Structure 1
Amino acid sequence: MKYFFNMKKVTAILFLLCLFSFSIFNLFSTYIPLNKAISIKKQNTNELIDTIESTMQEEVLGKFYFIEGYGYLQKLLNKQEESNLEIVKDEKGFLHYSYFANGPNPVDELVNNMSVLKNSIKDKEIEVVSLMPPDKYVRGYTQFSKGLPYNYANETADDFLEGMKNIGINTIDFRENLQVSGIPQDELFFKTDHHWKIGTSFWAYTELVKEINKDYGEGLDPDGFYTNLDHYNQITYKHSYLGSIGRRTGSLYSGLDDFTLIYPKFKTDYTYYNINNTEEKKTEGRFEDALISTYSLNMGDIKYSLQADKYFAYLFGNHALAHITNHLQPEGPKVLFIKDSYSVPMASFLSTVCSEVYLVDPRYYKENIIELVNELELDYVFVSFYPPNLTEEFFSFDKTPISH
């Protein structure tokens, strides 16, 4: 019995030594990023605490080895969920963000904000159009195992689009023709990410051009040159992409996606500008020089860094405000996207038939979006949020938005 208790003591001491040693090494590894994070000016006490907490969580020594190990254990156990059912795997192996819900979320406040946006635009010639990208849960295709949660995002989107019709705002629902797009259903979305694949985004761009021409007689791309995928280069990076959900579960649990970069073969000439608070960026040249960041495409086996997220190769990711000028389409329409990340590649492709494309993200833009609309010379305002983002955070058009 004495031997038994001695062994327990030795085990406890060794465990505490390992824990203490790890804490010391972890402190050293997080010192530089933590010091950089807390040196940001104008942080109040709550913001400073949040900054320290988030930095320590993101910079844990060997963080992704722990994630991979835990994910592999879940795979061995044939688990179809992680993070207390926040992440679920459907029967085709696709990962989804989810939560338990009894029905669709209320949309009355969102519809009201859209009405305020429309009625506050001084130039009544500007068309306000609500775009609805598809949720990763595709009706008639996606199936969850019994007991896994469903978030009713599609039903929320249905209610929102009905509200748009009631206030006289035109809608384009990309969900309607998704299953007859010609894209195999298992190629519509990334398995490890919540976004649609770049090929699906390109298809949505062609649908958007068709709908604009039909509804507003715009006459964009009359010979179908710019909307023909044959006139674009496609480079596929095999087993190279770990999306935002996969970075939380580990690649051993989720697997890796292929990533296909699409960009024009034809002559292009752009100027691109973006701003985030005080940081600005300007690029010029061909589509692939001005609108695509090759940094994430050349990071090799580095999968976990946000800088390695290949989806955000387009337009260098999300920004408070971005502006694309197409010098070869001076007579094309001028459009503004009030958007989430789904619209980034789609807007990039739409720029081939537009003279100017603006993108504003309510999560990061600290000014009044309605005032911005009234300052710009525009033909269209596209409000584009995919179904799970139909929340008040994204519809803060006339007040300071809440930022993650």
Structure 2
Amino acid sequence: MERDYVPRRASSAAPVRRRPPQRGGRNSRNNRRKNGPPPIFLIALGLLLVVLIVVLVIVFTSGNKGKKEPSGNSASSSASQISGSTGSELSNPASQVSAASTPEPTPPKEKDVSGLEVEKLDSMLRVGDSGYEYYSFVEETANQYTTMVAKAGAELKGSATLYDMVIPTSMDILLPEDFLADVNTSDQKKAINYIYGSINAQNPDVKTVPIFDALKLHNNEYIYFRTDHHWTQLGAYYAYAEFCKSKGIEAVPLTQFEKKEYPGFLGSFYADDNALSANPDTVEAYLPKANATLDYTTGDDDTITDWPVIQDGTDYDKENLYLIFIAGDQPYEEITNKDLNDGSACVVVKESFGNAFVPFLVNHYQHIYVVDYRYYKGNIAALAKEKGATDVIMLNNISMTRNADLVDSISGKF
């Protein structure tokens, strides 16, 4: 807190001595004349002392005007404004935002599921015309995942920054919390906070990107498919915007992308419940403005060149429309933005959720190297160093963090 400063008065700092009054009437004037004027050096000394005091008061006052508190006290004040934080949240730099900086946006009204038919299947939950994937938190596997991410960040230290993004499924984003209380599924927000907190406790250099709340703020929009477990590209856009905040760059406004729509999509949930066919999805694609091409290597080690970053889905089978994004799930891909010549490069480590996300990065990097860790056979840290990538972006849907086989698969790539 800034202290009030009251400058001292000149009279109290250096009281002026007064000569004792002269006694007598007519004789007092004569006495002064006899004594004569005070020596001139005493007058000069007094004037000098008064001037010096005035100067000191002016300097001291101006020096304290608008003076700010040291940064250490400011940080303590900011930290004290964070209330109700768990240990894992406090260890996550991304969650340490002062409540006084900007008011938290209010999420839209939760979806009204009253009156909708609910069917609890083994593989998914169907509510009305939409499917939702269950999630169960497995602490041991989650710990293996956090250790892997922390280790990957250590391998990349000095050459690239590692960003980690855990993507929630539609269930916790779109369905009301009170409804989920009766569903056998784990709390995804708490799980993500646990994962991020553990990662940052082991390696604070890793940048964990919080996207759960950003998606929740748009839960009344078309950000997840109804007949498929993936997010739409609109959902991926809101995650991309959060990545840009973490990196400190400006996200390209959604209005600047050309939008294409491909109706009739029936995804992975449809195979488990044909009742979803009554209301198929529409795959919306936001095309990058950049002049960019994609080369990829297939699982059979064939190389395909000059492929579109987002393919025209007009002639695609309805079940495969999600594959229009970056040629689907390929072991290795290279995307080149021919409009840039700055040498900027990143590596994206992903599974299928990353497909809709990658096209947004084209506007920011000259080279994007995409690895699907499930099929890639090389070392990702070595790839990043070889290509001169300054950023490595790891995208995993939350269900991956409970799958020991998948965590083992990615662990062996660093």
Match of 1:399 in 2: 412
| Structure number, greater radius of gyration | 2
The 3-state SS of whatever aligns with 1:385 is strand
Contact 1:368 1:397 in 2 (8 A): no
The 3-state SS of whatever aligns with 1:210 is helix
User: How many Å apart are 1:252 and its aligned residue?
Assistant: 4.8
Q: Are positions 1:234 and 2:268 aligned together? A: no
Contact 1:369 1:398 in 2 (8 A): no
Contact 1:154 1:387 in 2 (8 A): no
What is the aligned-residue identity percentage?
17
Q: Are positions 1:363 and 2:374 aligned together? A: yes
Cα pair distance change 1:257/1:310, threshold 3 Å: same
User: How many Å apart are 1:154 and its aligned residue?
Assistant: 3.9
Contact 1:297 1:313 in 2 (8 A): no
Match of 1:41 in 2: none
What pairs up with 1:11-22 in 2 under 5 angstroms?
none
User: How many Å apart are 1:94 and its aligned residue?
Assistant: 2.5
Match of 2:291 in 1: 269
User: How many Å apart are 1:152 and its aligned residue?
Assistant: 4.3
The 3-state SS of whatever aligns with 1:118 is helix
User: Structure 2: how far apart are the matches of 1:328 and 1:359?
Assistant: 19
The 3-state SS of whatever aligns with 1:245 is helix
Q: Are positions 1:322 and 2:339 aligned together? A: no
Match of 1:81 in 2: 120
User: Structure 2: how far apart are the matches of 1:140 and 1:263?
Assistant: 26
What pairs up with 1:15-34 in 2 under 5 angstroms?
none
User: Structure 2: how far apart are the matches of 1:336 and 1:130?
Assistant: 12
Render the CA deviation track for 1:149-186: whole Å, top value 9, x for unaligned: 21444433222111111121211011122233xx4525
- Code of the residue aligned with 1:366 in structure 2: it is K
Contact 1:241 1:258 in 2 (8 A): yes
Match of 1:278 among 300, 321, 332: 300
Alignment RMSD: 2.9
User: Structure 2: how far apart are the matches of 1:140 and 1:232?
Assistant: 25
Render the CA deviation track for 1:76-120: whole Å, top value 9, x for unaligned: xx56033xx222113x54212326x58756422222222222222
User: Structure 1: how far apart are the matches of 2:118 and 2:254?
Assistant: 39
The 3-state SS of whatever aligns with 1:279 is coil
Render the CA deviation track for 1:349-396: whole Å, top value 9, x for unaligned: 111221111111111112333333333311101111111111343443
Cα pair distance change 1:399/1:364, threshold 3 Å: same
Cα pair distance change 1:375/1:254, threshold 3 Å: farther
Match of 2:146 in 1: 111
User: Paired residues, what number?
Assistant: 294
User: How many Å apart are 1:400 and its aligned residue?
Assistant: 7.1
- Code of the residue aligned with 1:393 in structure 2: it is D
The 3-state SS of whatever aligns with 1:366 is coil
- Code of the residue aligned with 2:160 in structure 1: it is I
User: Structure 1: how far apart are the matches of 2:257 and 2:163?
Assistant: 27
Which moves more between the two structures, 372-381 or 352-361? 372-381
Q: Are positions 1:138 and 2:172 aligned together? A: yes
Contact 1:369 1:397 in 2 (8 A): no
User: Structure 1: how far apart are the matches of 2:168 and 2:118?
Assistant: 26
User: Structure 2: how far apart are the matches of 1:273 and 1:347?
Assistant: 14
The 3-state SS of whatever aligns with 2:212 is coil
User: Structure 2: how far apart are the matches of 1:110 and 1:254?
Assistant: 38
Match of 1:97 in 2: 133
Q: Which runs of 5+ in 1 are unaligned?
A: 1-77, 214-219
Render the CA deviation track for 1:122-150: whole Å, top value 9, x for unaligned: x6131111112232123584465786421
Cα pair distance change 1:400/1:370, threshold 3 Å: closer
Contact 2:325 2:359 in 1 (8 A): yes
Match of 1:385 in 2: 396
User: Structure 2: how far apart are the matches of 1:120 and 1:392?
Assistant: 22
Which moves more between the two structures, 254-263 or 333-342? 254-263
Cα pair distance change 1:174/1:79, threshold 3 Å: closer
Q: Are positions 1:248 and 2:285 aligned together? A: no
Cα pair distance change 1:385/1:233, threshold 3 Å: same
- Code of the residue aligned with 1:95 in structure 2: it is G
Q: Which runs of 5+ in 2 are unaligned?
A: 1-116
User: Structure 2: how far apart are the matches of 1:172 and 1:399?
Assistant: 23
User: Structure 2: how far apart are the matches of 1:154 and 1:177?
Assistant: 12
Match of 2:309 in 1: 291
Q: Are positions 1:170 and 2:192 aligned together? A: no
User: Structure 2: how far apart are the matches of 1:398 and 1:160?
Assistant: 16
User: Structure 2: how far apart are the matches of 1:244 and 1:261?
Assistant: 19
The 3-state SS of whatever aligns with 1:378 is coil
